[in-house]
Every structure is written in structure tokens, then in C-alpha cells.
A and B are shown apart, each in its own frame.
Chain A
């Protein structure tokens, strides 16, 4: 288990992380969301033991990261922001170096086979003899992920793992993370919200160093004003008449029309799609389509982090 216990960090008088507490168990993929400068990276750096917290503590597998950093880090893989790597080394040299430290309790042969395994998993075969500074951003990032998982750690912390990757590469990294998620506890930070939906089963939104939300992506979506809303697309039909009739039949729903679309919002987030659909059917209205309204997490994120409350 990764535990963050009231982690707090001050840079001078400025509080960057303010009493952040949470726990991550194996099987959980925690998405760390927040605007730039919210304190995501600082929190992660404190959990890895790279930065000392001003207050509070962090434990990995029950081991305090400040008091016993070496043992705490043994079960941890970490991809720092922007994936800093020793640029002048080749991919293979670099991974062998990391393996020799990460897998120092194993013999040389096992260390080398760990390198081979990870090269296969992250598809680096083609560039293994290239120096890292000649790699494209996508390969660069994959080397960063490779060094983080070279010892098959129980805990993974990835700071913006898909940053700068193209859609195909992003998809690959996401699949990799999902595959690893079953047995590991993973924390990843991102500001791409679709990524949270694709990979995480838990999400923490952090802003100005404080946790605003700690829940599942689904319940985060429920915070959207359009959650479970329905859109009717009509063309040529008597929109005003239909709208009036709907209002009369369902006074509790929020109903508005614009152009050729009628938006219907539930009174209290309940599902109304079937009800509306049946009603349309009974009245034999000619509509083009009926679809759930989009509830992009982006909107929720904006509301949460821009709201003065």
C-alpha cells in the first residue's frame, strides 16, 4: 500500500502541498488530476522520497520514505516528469545500469534478462543500440517507463506517462498500464482527462495543493450538470409543439431547445433515457436521433478548479 499521511510542502512561505492524505492499494490505478502548478509533481516527489516533506510522511509497503528511503524505494518504480535520462548512454547501457542497481540482489544473468524482458514489453528492440539523445519523444518516454518497471515493482508512480506521445503511442502506454494494474498499485498524473477514464479506477483532483475530490471517474462524471441528460435531434418537426408537450408531461425535468435540438435534463441525476424514449414512441414523433448528452470531464475539472469555492 502507498500511504500519504498529511504530506505538506512549503517552498519558503508558499504552501505548495497542503496536508494531502490518501492510500492506494494494489489493483488501484489512481489518476492524479490538477492544473499545472497544483502540487501533483511535488506530492509524487515526496512519496518517492526525492523531496523531503515539510510536514507529514509517506509510507510505501509500510516503510517510511524519509526514515528508511532505501528499503522504501525497493518496491517502487518511478517515472519523473519529462522523463530525465542519461542522454549519452545507449538504451541498452542505460537499462543495464538501472537493472544493476534495481536488481542488485539477483545475479548478473537475471539482471540482463530483466533488461531483455523490459525491452520486449516496451517495444524498444529497434533502438536498443541507439544513444538516448537521438531517440524520438515516444521512444524516449518508453525508455523512461522501461526503467520504472525493470524490477517488476509492486508500486508504480508515473508523472505524466503519456506526455508528448502521439495517439498510437498513448494507446500503447495506456494498455501497458492497464495490463500492469491488476497486480500493482499505480499512481499516475495527467492533465488529459480522457486518460483518467481510460486507465484509472480512482481519481484525485488537486488544486492549490489541496485535495478537492477523491472518488471514481464515474462519480466524478456525475458532477457534470449534463449527467444523464438526453438530447433529441429533430429536423422539420414541430419543435415548439413537442417542447411544450414534454414540459406538460414531465414538469420535473429541465427542458430547453436550441436550433433543432431539445435538451432534457433529469431532476436529480436519475436515468431518464428509457422514459423519454417510450414517450416519443407512444406519440410517434419523427425524430432524427436520441442520445445521451456529452459530459466531458474537462467541464467538471474546470468547474472544480476554477470555482472560487
Chain B
């Protein structure tokens, strides 16, 4: 536990030791809020809700979470510091968890920095804060699942660029499976409804959407938790030498 804390602290503060964190936070804010305003036209909708904000979140994460996750292991491998790390008296599991939690907390802070949006809306109207809360909860949980995958893919390479691209592709698949356009396509090629449903069930969107509507369901939470646990377990295996 003490070791996880040490790893976590080093990794988390590491984001702020380089300009990466600040660039990321600014780009994330511009992208998420910008899309909501200019593409989602939240102001014109005349609704006191964040539905149009949450709608874009899976797509914004698609680019930004790999940007956070790509360095987790690729950078250690490139610079050789993983030799230092894994000759310290810690287990691989502790290192993986510590690093993951640091990235997750960083993403959480980024997500919470968009709280200005609901605050503005509640100043202008009367939104349902329960739905906003479940939406944010879902977004943070989903960010963890994205990051788990990125951490895993980052362990396969010493190049951050390759790590980013692979993460992006894998996450893209995870989003696409539940995208309504893709699901309609599945149905249009006469796949049985149950098969299409089963495929859609593996998507981030299918499990995130209910939370943006105020539904907290065990199966959705379990899905994201399972993705995190599975990818981190594989991550530990991938780091065996």
C-alpha cells in the first residue's frame, strides 16, 4: 500500500513537472466545452441539462485519454527507468496500480474542471443536479476504462506515438460498437437483433448513456470496472520480462 502511494505520488506530480498537464487541461476544456457550445448548440436548445455536453464526452476522451495514457509505460521503457523501477522492492502489480490511479486522478481533475458549465446552467435555469451528478460519475468511471486500455497498450511499446495510435484505435472500436450509426448498419445487413445488441453491449457508449440520463445501474458500473481490472491484469502480464 505504501509502495502504491509512492508510485502514485511520483507519477501524479510528474504530470505537472512538464507542460503536458497544462496543455492537456486547456485542450480538454476547449474541446469539451467548445463542442458543446458550437456543435451541440447547448444555448439554442433552451434546455437546462448537460445532455449535449455528455454526448461529446466519449469522442473527446478518444483523443485525450490516450494522450494521458501513452506515456505511462512507453516512456519508462524508452528512457530505461523501468529497470530502475522493477529492481526496487515493489511488485509489478503495485507499480501498475499506482501509475493507473495517478492518471485516473489527473483525468478526474480535468473532468471536474468542466463543472463551470453546469454552474452556468444552474445560474440560467434549473437543471436536475442528480442527473448531472450521475453523468459526471459515469464520465469519471468511463475515463478509468479508457485509461486502463491505454495503460495496457502503452506497455507494449517504447514509442509514445505508437502507444497513442494503438490506444486510439482500440478505444475507437470500443466506442464504435455502440454508436447508433454503426448499430443501424449492423441491423441493415440483417444481423439478428440479439447479435447486434450483444455487440453493442461491449461499447463504452452503451454503458455511459444510461448514466447521463440519471440511471446508475450495477451492470454499467460492473462493465467499466471489468474493463479496468481486465486491462490492468493484462498490463501486469505484458510487463513480465
- Whether B87 lies near A76 (C-beta < 8 A) is yes
Across the interface, A80 reaches (CB within 8 A) one of B17, B80, B241, namely: B80
- Whether B86 lies near A50 (C-beta < 8 A) is yes
Across the interface, A97 reaches (CB within 8 A) one of B6, B80, B89, B91, namely: B6
Report B-chain residues with C-beta under 8 Å of the C-beta of A100: 2, 6
- Whether A80 lies near B84 (C-beta < 8 A) is yes
User: CA A2 – CA B220 in complex, angstroms?
Assistant: 51
Across the interface, A104 reaches (CB within 8 A) one of B6, B13, B241, namely: B6
Report B-chain residues with C-beta under 8 Å of the C-beta of A194: none
User: CA A131 – CA B10 in complex, angstroms?
Assistant: 14
* A222 shortest CB reach to chain B, Å: 36
User: CA A76 – CA B89 in complex, angstroms?
Assistant: 9
Given contacts A84-B79, A88-B17, are A70 and B84 in contact (CB under 8 A)?
A: no
Encode B1-23 as 1/0 by CB contact (under 8 A) with A.
Answer: 01100110110011001100000
User: CA A245 – CA B86 in complex, angstroms?
Assistant: 67
Chain A residues with a Cβ under 8 A of chain B: 45, 48-52, 69-71, 73-74, 76, 78, 80, 82, 84-89, 93, 97-98, 100-102, 104, 131, 147
Report A-chain residues with C-beta under 8 Å of the C-beta of B9: 97
A and B contact pairs by CB, cutoff 8 A, 14 listed: A50-B87, A50-B241, A52-B241, A70-B89, A76-B87, A80-B80, A85-B84, A87-B79, A88-B17, A93-B13, A100-B6, A101-B6, A102-B88, A104-B2
* B35 shortest CB reach to chain A, Å: 31
A-B contact count (CB 8 A): 68
- Whether B89 lies near A86 (C-beta < 8 A) is no
Report B-chain residues with C-beta under 8 Å of the C-beta of A87: 79
* A230 shortest CB reach to chain B, Å: 48
User: CA A97 – CA B5 in complex, angstroms?
Assistant: 10
Instruction: Name, among B6, B79, B80, the residue most crowded by chain A CB atoms within 10 Å (CB to CB).
Output: B6
Please give me the 9 A-B residue pairs with the lowest Cβ-Cβ distance, nearest first.
Answer: A84-B80, A100-B6, A88-B17, A73-B89, A80-B83, A48-B87, A78-B87, A84-B81, A70-B89
Given contacts A70-B89, A86-B10, A87-B79, are A104 and B84 in contact (CB under 8 A)?
A: no
* A95 shortest CB reach to chain B, Å: 12
User: CA A82 – CA B79 in complex, angstroms?
Assistant: 10
Given contacts A50-B241, A88-B18, are A73 and B10 in contact (CB under 8 A)?
A: no
Name A45's closest neighbour in chain B (CB-CB): B83
Report B-chain residues with C-beta under 8 Å of the C-beta of A70: 89-91
- Whether B3 lies near A104 (C-beta < 8 A) is yes
Report A-chain residues with C-beta under 8 Å of the C-beta of B240: 52
- Whether A73 lies near B80 (C-beta < 8 A) is no
- Whether B88 lies near A89 (C-beta < 8 A) is no
User: CA A160 – CA B79 in complex, angstroms?
Assistant: 17
- Whether B87 lies near A49 (C-beta < 8 A) is yes
12 extra interface residue pairs, beta carbon distance < 8 Å, beyond A51-B241, A104-B3: A49-B86, A50-B83, A50-B87, A69-B89, A70-B89, A80-B87, A85-B81, A88-B18, A97-B10, A101-B89, A101-B90, A102-B88
- Whether A101 lies near B88 (C-beta < 8 A) is yes
Name B240's closest neighbour in chain A (CB-CB): A52
* A186 shortest CB reach to chain B, Å: 16
* B7 shortest CB reach to chain A, Å: 8
